[in-house]
């Protein structure tokens, strides 16, 4: 079987983003609302899954503020969503560094305790997930920070390895390895 | 739960989940899924993982939008503009200098007449100007040349040149002829070396040896 590896990029989605950006630059405020509506939820998912915890909404807001402040530097070489993930990730890392300097954060703030993810999601949604989903989230929570980041972007957001590499500042090959290691670790956890 | 040995297809399962495959890729992966239990299990796991991970905190879109800055078109940096302007000024200035110098040489090459005015004994002890005039002798000088101070004691010389005598009007020619009445002619080469200019033609070797 010979399958070309690159997946189809959502061209229509990217074109719609570029159109909205152009409209916002020409003074259409509704375009900004549309852009936020299109990407806020994905950013919140990403932020929550990589350990942003209670300040998810704040992180998402700051991501958009930063992005809109420098939209002229967005060249459209990657998708807008990938670019937003990149900004959110940098912000998260900066916050963790600041917290470490202040002595308020743990050495590895991303590491999540056994039931941490369950509590986090339940508290956020107010919904008690079924046992299967709870186990799945726990499996993700046990991944290393990089594996969790890559796995979330690949499975939850559907990014290609190339896009993931751009978002996390890595290579396609490294992203692929992290994904498959994460999948193996999740399967092992669920099989126990 | 075991892994399918077909790594290529496993790699594309998340893309199938998010509908990011070409029709040909999709058909091929789906054909494989029909006969592969490992990939069926992994695909089911991916669907469940996606569903569980999609329980994200709600965000207030209106709050985010209200915090967004207004768009400001990028301001062009003045630094580069000044550099470009300075470069242009240098090019234009340099080019003009070259053209003027070139024109002056052409003018000298087209001398129709060159004359020397006898020295004024009571010449002031300041640098003397040698003037190469344009076709109309009394008009503004086209070129002014400073002569070194050591030539101050030498006869004061005035070289008059025309680009082409044929272009002069009768009145201009009359004025020129009148002026020439009291002048001695020298060659352009002699004008360019004022210190060695002599109102008399050089004596021949035979004459000096005699």
- A65 contacts B69? CB cut-off 8 A: yes
ipTM (interface predicted TM): 0.72
End-to-end Cα, chain A, rounded Å = 33
- State residue A133's pLDDT score: 78
- Residue A29 main-chain phi, psi, to 5 deg: -65, -30
Per residue in B162-189, pLDDT (tens digit) is 456 567 777 777 776 777 665 555 444 4
Mean pLDDT of A35-46: 91
Query: In the predicted model, is pLDDT for residue B95 greater than 50?
Result: yes
The reply to whether A81 touches chain B by the CB within 8 Å rule is no
Return d(Cα B139, Cα B169) in angstroms, integer. Answer: 14
Lookup: tokens for A28: 């259409």
Q: Confidence class of residue B29 from pLDDT cuts 50, 70 and 90?
A: very high
Least confident residue range of A65-74, A84-93, B148-157: B148-157
CB contact under 8 A, A124 and B57: yes
Q: Which residues of A touch B73 (CB under 8 A)?
A: 25, 72
Six token digits for residue B154: 């030498």
CB distance A44–B58 less than 8 Å? yes
pLDDT at residue number B21: 92
pLDDT at A63: 95
- Report CB contact under 8 Å: A183, B55: no
Instruction: Pick the residue from chain A with its C-alpha nearest to B75.
Output: A72
* pLDDT for position B23: 92
How many Å apart are CA B189 and CA B125, to the nearest integer? Answer: 26
Query: What is the SS3 string spanning B192-204?
Result: CCHHHCCCCCCCC
Q: Which helix (H) or strand (E) holds B146?
A: strand B143-146
pLDDT tens by residue, A90-114: 898 888 888 778 775 444 444 433 3
Cβ within 8 Å of residue A13, ≥6 positions away: A79, A81
Residues B144, B136 contacting (CB under 8 angstroms)? no
Which pLDDT score, from 0 to 100, does residue B66 have? 92
Number of residue pairs across A and B with CB atoms under 8 Å? 145
pTM across the whole model: 0.55
Ranking A5-9, A34-38, A138-142, B100-104 by mean pLDDT, the lowest is A5-9
Residue of B nearest to A132 (CA): B48
Residues A151-185 as b or e (16 or more Cβ within 10 Å = b)? bbbbbbbbbbbbbbbbbbebebeebbebbbbbbeb
pLDDT for A50 equals 79
Give the pLDDT score at B100. 64
Residues A78-89: what's their mean pLDDT? Answer: 90
B115 three-class SS: strand
Confidence of residue B25 (pLDDT cuts 50, 70, 90): very high
SS3 label, residue A157? coil
| Range in A33-37, A180-184, B33-37, B84-88 with the lowest mean pLDDT | B84-88
Of B18, B29, B61, the CB nearest to A158: B18
In terms of Cβ atoms closer than 10 Å to its own Cβ (0-12, 13-18, 19+), residue B108 is: middle
Query: CB atoms < 10 A from the CB of A137, how many?
Result: 24
Residues of B in contact with A55 (CB under 8 A): none
Whether residues A40 and B74 touch (CB distance < 8 A) is answered with no
On the question of pLDDT at B147 being above 90, the answer is: no
The radius of gyration of chain A from alpha carbons, rounded to an integer in Å, stands at: 17
Supply the pLDDT for residue B194: 44
Tell me what pLDDT residue B149 has: 46
Q: Specify the pLDDT at position A76.
A: 81
| The pLDDT of residue A10 is above 60 | yes
B27 in contact with A at a CB cutoff of 8 Å?
no
The mean pLDDT of B88-106, rounded to a whole number, is 68
**Per-residue pLDDT averaged across A150-171, rounded?**
93
Which residues numbered 37-66 in B keep a CB inside 8 Å of some CB on A? 42, 45-46, 48-65
Our CA-based measurement puts residue B81 at a distance from the nearest CA of chain A, in whole angstroms, of 20
Q: Which of residues 72-111 of B touch A (CB under 8 A)?
A: 73-74
- Which of B12, B17, B48 lies closest to A132 in CB terms? B48
- The pLDDT of residue A2: 52
Q: Is B199 on the interface with A (CB under 8 A)?
A: no
Average pLDDT over residues B74-85: 64
Q: Give percent of chain B above pLDDT 90.
A: 23
* pLDDT value, residue B184: 55
Where are the alpha helices (H) located in A103-160, listed in sequence order? 116-125, 131-141, 145-151
A73 exposure class (CB count in 10 Å sphere: 0-12, 13-18, 19+): exposed
Write out pLDDT tens, residues A124-149: 444 445 677 778 888 988 999 999 99
Q: How many CA atoms lie within 13 A of B15 on its CB side?
A: 27
């Amino acid at each position: 079987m010979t399958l070309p590896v690159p997946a189809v990029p959502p061209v229509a989605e990217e074109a719609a983003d570029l159109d909205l950006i152009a409209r916002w630059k020409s003074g259409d405020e509704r375009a900004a609302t549309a852009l936020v509506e299109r990407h806020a939820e994905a950013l919140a998912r990403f932020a929550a899954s990589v350990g942003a915890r209670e300040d998810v909404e704040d992180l998402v807001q700051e991501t958009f503020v930063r992005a809109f402040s420098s939209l002229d530097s967005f060249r459209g070489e990657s998708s807008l969503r990938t670019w937003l993930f990149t900004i959110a990730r940098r912000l998260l890392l900066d916050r963790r560094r600041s917290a470490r300097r202040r002595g308020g954060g743990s050495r590895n703030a991303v590491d999540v305790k056994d039931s941490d993810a369950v509590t986090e999601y339940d508290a956020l949604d107010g919904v008690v997930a079924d046992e299967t989903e709870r186990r799945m989230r726990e499996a993700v929570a046990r991944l290393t920070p990089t594996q969790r980041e890559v796995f979330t972007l690949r499975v939850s957001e559907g990014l290609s390895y190339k896009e993931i590499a751009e978002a996390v500042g890595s290579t396609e090959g490294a992203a692929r390895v992290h994904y498959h290691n994460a999948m193996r670790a999740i399967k092992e956890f669920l099989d126990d | 739960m075991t892994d399918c040995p077909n790594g290529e297809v496993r790699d594309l399962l998340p893309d199938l989940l998010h509908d990011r495959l070409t029709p040909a890729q999709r058909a091929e992966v789906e054909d494989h899924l029909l006969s592969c239990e490992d990939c069926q299990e992994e695909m089911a796991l991916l669907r469940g993982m996606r569903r569980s991970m999609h329980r994200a905190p709600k965000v207030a879109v209106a709050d985010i939008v209200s915090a967004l800055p207004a768009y400001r078109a990028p301001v062009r940096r003045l630094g580069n503009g000044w550099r470009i302007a300075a470069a242009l000024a240098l090019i234009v200035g340099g080019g003009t200098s070259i053209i003027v110098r070139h024109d002056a040489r052409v003018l000298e090459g087209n001398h129709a007449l060159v004359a020397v005015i006898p020295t004024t004994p009571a010449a002031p002890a300041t640098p003397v100007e040698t003037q190469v005039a344009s076709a109309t002798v009394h008009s503004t000088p086209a070129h002014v040349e400073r002569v070194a101070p050591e030539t101050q004691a030498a006869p004061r010389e005035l070289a008059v040149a025309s680009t082409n005598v044929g272009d002069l009007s009768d009145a201009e020619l009359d004025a020129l002829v009148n002026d020439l009445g009291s002048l001695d002619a020298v060659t352009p080469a002699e004008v360019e070396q004022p210190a060695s200019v002599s109102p008399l033609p050089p004596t021949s070797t035979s004459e000096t040896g005699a």
